[in-house]
């Protein structure tokens, strides 16, 4: 990116962030990118560290970050522009507003849900993003053979995710155990590192849509 001072200009950065009103219902996401390629979702992408690393490592894939917090999507737009990533877009809004309206069935190659907000207290568990309805929506949007990756440092969320996924007839576990606790460095996101620093181990689930 030539004009580095533009990376400090919030108005400029905002023009690179998608919102619900910018999208068709449904939206052919491939038309956003400079060329068609398998689509990868990063759901709850935070400041976009993981997706920008992956988009750099895998230029033959298209990435869509989905993040509800405006400050975090600004940080992601900045990373996209700084790294000249034309294979990455960022959507600002809630995943539950995007998935049911905007995706064609079988249009997503991989979906990552890395360290979703854990809501550890019993009274707030119903606020967790992963639930049976949401999983059916993920199943509908994944292509056959598409991947769903889920990571958390909260053991009972990992157990819940595993029980939902392993009982769903459309998903097959890709690990020989319910989850892995060690993965290669590109899968270690910011919240993985926060958890590790606090002494919590992480759980990485990987299922395929069959």
Ligand X SMILES: C[S@@+](CC[C@H](N)C(=O)[O-])C[C@H]1O[C@@H](n2cnc3c(N)ncnc32)[C@H](O)[C@@H]1O
Catalytic residue numbers, as ranges: 117
94 lies in the binding site for ligand X (CB under 6 A): yes
159 vs 119: CA distance, rounded Å: 14
**Closest separation between CB of residue 17 and ligand X, Å?**
13
C-alpha pair distances (Å), 44 with each of 80, 96, 176: 16, 11, 27
Answer for the pair 111, 134: CB distance below 8 angstroms, yes or no: no
Measured distance CA(208)–CA(210) in Å, rounded: 6
User: For ligand X, which stretch binds (CB under 6 A), given 33-41, 65-73, 133-141, 160-168?
Assistant: 65-73
Contact call for residue 66 and ligand X (CB under 6 A): yes
Which one among 18, 44, 134, 138 touches ligand X, defined by CB under 6 A? 44
CA–CA dist 37, 13 (Å, integer) = 24
Half-sphere exposure of 179 (CA within 13 A, CB side): 24
Task: Give the footprint of ligand X on residues 97-136 (CB under 6 A).
Answer: 114-117, 129
Task: Assess 72 for contact with ligand X (CB under 6 A).
Answer: yes
Tell which one of 67, 76, 128, 162 touches ligand X (CB under 6 A). Answer: 67
Q: Which chain residues interact with ligand X by CB under 6 A?
A: 44-46, 66-69, 72, 94-96, 114-117, 129, 189-191
């Amino acid at each position: 990116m030539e004009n580095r001072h533009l990376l400090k200009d919030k108005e400029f950065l905002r023009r690179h962030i998608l919102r619900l009103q910018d999208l068709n219902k449904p939206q052919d996401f491939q038309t956003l990118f400079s060329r068609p390629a398998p689509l990868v979702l990063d759901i709850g992408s935070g400041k976009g560290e993981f997706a920008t690393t992956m988009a750099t490592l895998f230029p033959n894939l298209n990435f869509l970050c989905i993040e509800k917090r405006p400050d975090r999507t600004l940080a992601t737009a900045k990373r996209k522009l700084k790294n000249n990533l034309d294979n990455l877009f960022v959507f600002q809004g809630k995943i539950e507003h995007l998935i049911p309206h905007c995706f064609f069935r079988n249009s997503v190659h991989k979906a990552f849900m890395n360290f979703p907000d854990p809501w550890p207290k019993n009274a707030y568990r119903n606020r967790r993003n992963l639930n049976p309805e949401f999983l059916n929506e993920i199943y509908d949007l994944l292509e056959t053979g598409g991947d769903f990756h889920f990571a958390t440092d909260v053991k009972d969320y990992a157990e819940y995710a595993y029980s939902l996924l392993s009982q769903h007839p459309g998903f097959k576990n890709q690990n020989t155990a319910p989850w892995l606790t060690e993965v290669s460095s590109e899968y270690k996101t910011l919240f993985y590192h926060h958890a590790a620093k606090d002494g919590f181990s992480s759980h990485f689930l990987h299922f395929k849509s069959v």
